[in-house]
């Protein structure tokens, strides 16, 4: 399987970049956040039982899934905005681009590397959360399985956010990129309000503007199933599949736009 | 090296000074925490839900814990100023004015979170019955298949002596999938004899069966004790009346009716005084013509 993959020219150039981006993230101690996550869960499991009147499992799921999202958002934003910038700053980008590697392939490699970092991060946190639930429930509970669709959707949301961070970092400074990505994350969770606002507008131009924003900005609210998951509610398969398909399409669009901008960027 | 010692010294002295200032500040006579606890919430639930983005679950949990701590802190403050005496059956003395808003915030942020509804149904009727009913209606609107919400709403109407409404709510809850059969029975009982002691006993029994909250179970247990005591006092009153009819006067001591009371299955102490469900002897009142709880009795008065 891997021989066949490496026989494909583009992947053979992209995957080493991805692997390198992952190694770099690990070297930069990005995964240290797992320690904070573990401490948070242990503290939650020990103290919340006494404070929440028997609601410790729900609170641990809320706390755990929200932490997975929050840590993931921080990694996606702060590592994502530095992916290209650091390579330019350290001038390693020139060495890479002097080889037969296209700018698009470089970006794709970097993107996949960070997605791999996020995947490892999210998987370890998810397993940690499941173990915390086993501990709190003193054995297996269906909730241990039922949190995983929410974890999957959080991961898809993070891949979109990484794409957004990469897009902004392709033409602006890391600080501004981080700020803009955070705005997109915030507005992405307000998408239902954008639609309502568009419907409430009297003038046609304002209606088009808000409708346009609603359809153009990523609809991140559909990735939030943390609350029902904490009650052990399994989501219907259809919205989950639709959200994944939407995420894939949106990531393709973001990577294409990033490549388009980055190709035109004067690196001299 | 010398500089290192100096820095370590600065850190140690600084931390000690900070701890001293905190200690001194805590000792100052002010009650900021209590003042802030009573402040109304600045944001309504809908606005808060938007602001919390994807973290509404955690925010809901936080408001739930804050609600519990708010009540707990009020009980501690009350007990501190009233020699440790607090009766869970009279929550109105606690002045829990911020509780309805806190519970509403928690349930607006997470409408499927059932515990705040159940907690509100038991605690709020003493403080703000309209808020309790409104919270339960909000819960039913968000969770139309949860029969326990109907049970709690029926309980509130029953407490307000609105037996017709209580019966309707129980009947509506009984039609839901998974609702126990007794919901139908209690609906009928509410209609026929809502104010009876038997209906009350049944209500409390079912409430105790479905509740996970120890405080609620404790409150229900005390109410059942009160009902048991009322039944016993009826028996004792009958015995005292019969004694009066036969002897032409009221009993001067329990010894005079002790054998009758024992024959009716009542427990008594060595002096022949009947014991209430908590083991405290009843006392004779109105020159031996009537019976009442002793002042030291743990049986709730209401």
Length of chain A: 268
DSSP reduced 3-state for B29: coil
Nearest-angstrom CA–CA distance, A236 and A251: 23
> Hey, is the C-beta of A224 within 8 angstroms of any chain B C-beta?
yes
Which chain B residue has the Cα nearest residue A49? B65
A95 touches A106 (CB < 8 A): no
Which of chain B's residues have a Cβ under 8 Å away from the Cβ of A186?
53
Give the rounded distance of the alpha carbon of B266 from its chain centre: 29
Three-state DSSP string of chain A: CHHHHHHCHHHHHHHHHHHHHHHHHHHCCHHHHHHHHHHHHHHHHHHHHHHCCCCHHHHHHHHHHHHHHHHHHHHHHHHHCHHHHHHHHCCHHHHHHHCCCCHHHHHHHHHHHHHHHHHHHHHHHHHHHHHHHHHHCCCCCCHHHHCHHHHHHHHHHHHHHHHHHHHHHCCCCHHHHHHHHHHHHHHHCCHHHHHHHHHHCCCHHHHHHHHHHHHHCCCHHHHCCHHHHHCCCCCCHHHHHHHHHHHHHHHHHHHHHHHHHHHHCCCC
> Min CA distance, B61 vs chain A (Å)?
6
Instruction: Give the A window 186-215 contacts with B, CB below 8 Å.
Output: 186, 189-190, 193
Q: Which residues of B262-277 are buried (b: 16+ CB within 10 A; e: fewer)?
A: eeeebebeeebbbbbb
Identify which of A52, A220, A226 has the shortest CB distance to residue B57: A226
pLDDT of B36: 54
Backbone dihedral region of B41: left (phi > 0), alpha (psi from -120 to 50 degrees) or beta? beta
Substitution target in B61, B66, B218 with the highest count of A β-carbons within 10 Å is: B61
Is residue B276 scored above 60 in pLDDT?
A: yes
Identify which of A52, A59, A189 has the shortest CB distance to residue B54: A189
pLDDT of B132: 94
Identify which of A54, A63, A224 has the shortest CB distance to residue B212: A54
pLDDT of B146: 94
Backbone dihedral region of B266: left (phi > 0), alpha (psi from -120 to 50 degrees) or beta? beta
> Min CA distance, A205 vs chain B (Å)?
26
Substitution target in B54, B72, B107, B108 with the highest count of A β-carbons within 10 Å is: B54
**Alpha-carbon Rg for chain B in angstroms:** 27
Banded model confidence at residue B76, pLDDT cuts 50, 70, 90: confident
> Min CA distance, A250 vs chain B (Å)?
20
Beta carbon pairs, A and B, within 8 Å? 63
pLDDT digits (tens, 9 = 90+) for B173-192: 999 998 888 888 888 888 87
pLDDT digits (tens, 9 = 90+) for B214-249: 777 777 888 888 888 988 999 999 888 888 888 888
Banded model confidence at residue B96, pLDDT cuts 50, 70, 90: confident
Banded model confidence at residue B33, pLDDT cuts 50, 70, 90: low
pLDDT of A3: 45
> Min CA distance, B116 vs chain A (Å)?
10
Identify which of B57, B69, B213 has the shortest CB distance to residue A62: B57
**If residue B114 lies in a helix (H) or strand (E), which one and from where to where?**
none
- Count the neighbouring beta carbons within 10 Å of the beta carbon of residue A102: 14
Average pLDDT score over chain B:
85
pLDDT digits (tens, 9 = 90+) for A193-229: 888 888 888 788 888 888 888 888 898 988 999 999 9
Under an 8 A CB cutoff, do A190 and B50 touch? yes
pLDDT of A152: 96
pLDDT digits (tens, 9 = 90+) for A98-125: 888 888 899 999 999 999 999 999 999 9
| Averaged pLDDT for residues B119-129 | 88
Identify which of A55, A65, A190 has the shortest CB distance to residue B115: A55
Which chain B residue has the Cα nearest residue A183? B53
Which of chain A's residues have a Cβ under 8 Å away from the Cβ of B216?
none
Instruction: Give the A window 152-191 contacts with B, CB below 8 Å.
Output: 185-186, 189-190
Under an 8 A CB cutoff, do A189 and B69 touch? no
Mean pLDDT split into 10-residue runs, chain A, 268 residues: 52 87 85 77 71 81 91 91 86 84 90 94 91 87 93 96 94 92 92 82 84 88 90 90 93 92 80
Nearest-angstrom CA–CA distance, B137 and B297: 38
Which of chain A's residues have a Cβ under 8 Å away from the Cβ of B110?
227, 230
pLDDT of A200: 83
Banded model confidence at residue B1, pLDDT cuts 50, 70, 90: low
Per-residue CA distances from B62 to A170, B34, B55, B85 (Å): 39, 18, 11, 29
Under an 8 A CB cutoff, do B57 and A230 touch? yes
Nearest-angstrom CA–CA distance, B60 and B68: 13
Identify which of B58, B115, B213 has the shortest CB distance to residue A62: B58
ipTM of the modeled complex: 0.76
Which chain A residue has the Cα nearest residue B113? A231
- Count the neighbouring beta carbons within 10 Å of the beta carbon of residue B190: 27
pLDDT of A156: 96
| pTM of the complete model | 0.74
pLDDT of A5: 44
Which chain B residue has the Cα nearest residue A230? B57
Of A100-104, A208-212, B85-89, B281-285, least confident by mean pLDDT is B85-89
Picking from A265, A232, A245, A80, the residue whose alpha carbon sits closest to that of residue A163 is: A80
Substitution target in B52, B58, B122 with the highest count of A β-carbons within 10 Å is: B58
Is residue B161 scored above 60 in pLDDT?
A: yes
pLDDT of B73: 85
């Amino acid at each position: 399987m891997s021989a066949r993959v490496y026989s494909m020219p583009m992947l053979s150039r992209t995957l080493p970049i991805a692997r390198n981006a992952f190694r770099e993230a690990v070297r930069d101690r990005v995964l240290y956040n797992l320690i904070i996550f573990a401490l948070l869960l242990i503290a939650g499991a020990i103290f919340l039982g006494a404070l929440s009147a028997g609601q410790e499992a729900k609170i641990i799921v809320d706390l755990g899934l929200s932490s997975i999202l929050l840590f993931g958002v921080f990694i996606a934003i702060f590592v994502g905005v530095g992916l290209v910038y650091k390579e330019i700053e350290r001038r390693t980008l020139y060495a890479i681009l002097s080889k037969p590697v296209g700018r698009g392939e470089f970006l794709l490699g970097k993107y996949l590397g960070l997605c791999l970092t996020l995947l490892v991060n999210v998987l370890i946190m998810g397993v940690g959360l499941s173990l915390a639930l086993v501990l709190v429930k003193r054995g297996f509970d269906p909730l241990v399985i039922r949190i995983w669709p929410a974890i999957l959707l959080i991961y898809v949301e993070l891949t979109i956010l990484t794409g957004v961070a990469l897009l902004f970092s392709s033409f602006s400074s890391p600080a501004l990129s981080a700020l803009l990505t955070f705005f997109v994350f915030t507005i992405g969770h307000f998408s239902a309000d954008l639609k309502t606002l568009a419907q409430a507008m009297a003038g046609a131009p304002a209606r088009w503007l808000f409708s346009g924003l609603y359809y153009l900005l990523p609809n991140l609210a559909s990735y939030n199933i943390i609350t029902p998951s904490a009650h052990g509610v399994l989501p219907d398969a259809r919205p989950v599949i639709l959200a994944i398909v939407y995420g894939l399409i949106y990531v393709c669009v973001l990577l294409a736009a990033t490549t388009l901008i980055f190709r035109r960027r004067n690196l001299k | 090296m010398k500089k290192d010692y100096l820095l370590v010294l600065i850190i140690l002295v600084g931390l000690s000074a900070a701890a001293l200032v905190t200690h001194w500040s805590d000792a100052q006579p002010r009650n900021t925490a209590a003042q802030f606890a009573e402040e109304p919430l600045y944001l309504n639930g809908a606005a808060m839900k938007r602001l919390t983005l994807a973290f509404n679950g955690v925010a809901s949990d936080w408001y739930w814990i804050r609600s519990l701590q708010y009540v707990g802190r009020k009980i501690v403050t009350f007990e501190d100023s009233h020699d440790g005496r607090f009766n869970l059956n009279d929550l109105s003395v606690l002045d829990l004015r911020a509780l309805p808003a806190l519970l509403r915030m928690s349930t607006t942020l997470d409408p499927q979170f059932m515990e705040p509804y159940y907690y509100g149904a038991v605690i709020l009727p003493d403080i703000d019955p309209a808020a309790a009913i409104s919270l339960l209606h909000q819960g039913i609107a968000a969770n139309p298949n949860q029969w326990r919400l109907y049970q709690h709403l029926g309980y509130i109407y029953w407490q307000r002596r609105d037996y017709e409404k209580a019966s309707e709510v129980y009947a509506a809850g009984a039609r839901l999938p998974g609702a126990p059969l007794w919901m139908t029975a209690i609906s009928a009982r509410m209609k026929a004899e809502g104010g009876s002691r038997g209906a009350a006993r049944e209500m409390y029994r079912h409430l105790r069966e479905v509740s996970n909250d120890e405080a609620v179970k404790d409150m229900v247990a005390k109410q059942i004790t009160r009902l048991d005591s009322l039944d016993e006092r009826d028996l004792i009153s009958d015995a005292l009346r019969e004694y009066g009819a036969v002897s032409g006067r009221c009993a001067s001591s329990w010894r005079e009716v002790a054998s009758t009371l024992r024959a009716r299955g009542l427990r008594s102490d060595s002096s022949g005084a009947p014991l209430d469900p908590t083991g405290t002897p009843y006392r004779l009142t109105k020159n031996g013509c009537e019976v009442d709880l002793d002042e030291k009795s743990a049986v709730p008065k209401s």
